[in-house]
């Protein structure tokens, strides 16, 4: 995989591992675009990364995920790498939480379904660009 001079989408790139990944990849000459939940602010990411773009999107919401994919296709059609970094983790005792089923569903939606959906939506663009670089 080519990780220099690429356009890379990082979900969950506003903080934590995604932010550090953005810093490292932008330092290697990549064009980094990130998405984060609507309530997150890309300020930290802008301070540390040379961002090519930022899109507010909760990828666990199918409509927002489709909006992100549309934006990438329109504004960054040369994107050739996706890091599906967005995730949630509930740290609670299983038996002590009455909302455990809802919490599990939200975790599965963000951590599994959303990345599958995003890959499905962007696969034609990513594979075309990746194969052109290979």
49 or 32: whose pLDDT is higher? 32
Average pLDDT, the chain: 84
Are 74 and 121 in contact, with CB atoms under 8 Å apart? no
Q: Which residue has the higher pLDDT, 78 or 89?
A: 78
Ramachandran angles phi, psi of 25, nearest 5°:
-70, -35
Question: Tell me: the pLDDT tens digits for 33-70?
Answer: 989 886 666 555 555 556 778 888 899 999 999 999 99
The secondary structure of residue 16, as a DSSP letter, is H
On whether residue 2 sits in a domain, the answer given is no
Range of the structural domain that residue 91 is part of: 7-133
Model confidence, pTM: 0.85
φ, ψ dihedrals at 17, nearest 5°: -60, -40
Task: Judge whether residue 91 has pLDDT over 90.
Answer: no
pLDDT computed for residue 50 by the predictor: 66
Comparing 42 with 71, the larger pLDDT belongs to: 71
* Angstrom distance (rounded) from CA 19 to CA 104: 25
Judge whether 1 lies within some domain. no
Domain count, the chain: 1
- How far is residue 52's CA from residue 34's CA, in Å, rounded to a whole number? 8
Report which of residues 36 and 10 the model is more confident about.
10
CATH of the domain at 28: 3.40.50.720
């Amino acid at each position: 995989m080519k990780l220099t001079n690429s356009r890379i989408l990082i979900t969950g790139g506003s903080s934590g591992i995604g932010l550090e990944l953005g810093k490292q990849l932008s330092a290697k000459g990549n064009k980094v675009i990130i998405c984060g939940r609507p309530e997150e602010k890309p300020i930290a990411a802008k301070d540390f990364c040379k961002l090519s773009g930022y899109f507010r999107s909760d990828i666990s919401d199918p409509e927002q995920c489709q909006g992100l994919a549309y934006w990438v296709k329109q504004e960054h059609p040369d994107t050739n790498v996706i890091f599906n970094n967005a995730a949630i983790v509930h740290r609670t005792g299983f038996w002590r939480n009455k909302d455990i089923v809802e919490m599990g569903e939200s975790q599965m939606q963000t951590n599994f379904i959303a990345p599958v959906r995003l890959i499905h939506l962007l696969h034609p663009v990513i594979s075309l660009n990746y194969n052109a670089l290979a």
